[in-house]
Amino acid sequence: MSGHSKWATIKHKKGALDAKRGKIFTRLIKEITIAARSGGDPNSNPRLRTAIAAAKAESMPADNIKRAIMRGTGELEGGQIEEVMFEGYGPGGAAVLVNVATDNRNRTVSEIRHLFSKNGGNLGEQGSVSWMFERKSQIIIDREKATEDQLMNIILDAGGEDLRSDGGNWVVISPPDAHERVLEAIHKAGIPTEEAEIAMIPKNLIRLEGKNASGMLKLNEVLEEHDDVQSVYSNYDIDEKELEALAQ
């Protein structure tokens, strides 16, 4: 197990995957608002379509979605949100990308830098680690919901490129422009998904053990809990048994 999908899994086990519904809605509203800046019509705006689909999956009221779109297009005030990708290193040298949406860049920079330094990491310059990642569609499916052969046939026909085993999950990797086709094909086959997003996928992994492993999980956790953070990606890898022990 590794990186973003690993942490999603462990957070499910700990019962702490954005436990407060309001926090989930806040992140989704920010994403819709930012996406709508490129156009308020989801039919011609793939990012907005994806954001709306994610919001509907969380049962967000239609009025909330509409207002978020209107803020993004400028029809309502309150859309002055800046999207920033921070780059840095965590314990053991793991590369970390932190995607934030903020209305106060200076404040957020200071707070994110503090979280890195307080938890065994350091914030880097732009471009310092982003080259270690690729922008891909990532769809996570519970292994009990589908077989490898079943999924492989579906995703290849829909334009997907890889199927990976990640602990108790299948992780479907596709080019960003195939995200909607692959997701639709999976749902059409009656297979539920745990997560579906355009993510930053690490090209290679770094194995962490002991204090570095626990420290990286802690850094990941505090970053995820920050109000302005939309998503966190890393290239760490932790042994299954050690991960289970750390989750106790």
**What is the domain partition of the chain in residue ranges?**
3-73, 82-131+204-247, 133-202
- CATH class, 82-131+204-247 region: alpha beta
Q: How far is CA 181 from CA 51, 104, 131, 156, 247, in A?
A: 15, 36, 27, 11, 35
Model-level pTM?
Answer: 0.81
Q: What is the DSSP secondary structure assignment for residue 91, as one 8-state letter?
A: G
pLDDT at 247: 67
Domains 82-131+204-247 and 133-202 are alike in CATH topology: yes
Enumerate residues 6+ apart whose C-beta is below 8 A from 51. Answer: 28, 31, 32, 35
The rounded average pLDDT for each run of 10 residues, N- to C-terminus, in the chain (248 residues) is 45 46 82 90 90 88 92 82 93 95 92 96 93 93 91 91 87 92 92 89 91 92 91 88 70
pLDDT at 81: 87
Alpha carbons 129 and 122: distance in angstroms, whole number: 12
Question: What's the distance, CA 151 to chain centroid?
Answer: 22
What does CATH list as the number for 3-73? 1.10.10.200
CATH architecture entry for 133-202 = 2-Layer Sandwich (3.30)
pLDDT tens per residue across span 200-242: 999 999 999 989 999 999 999 999 989 899 999 999 988 877 7
Alpha carbons 89 and 75: distance in angstroms, whole number: 40
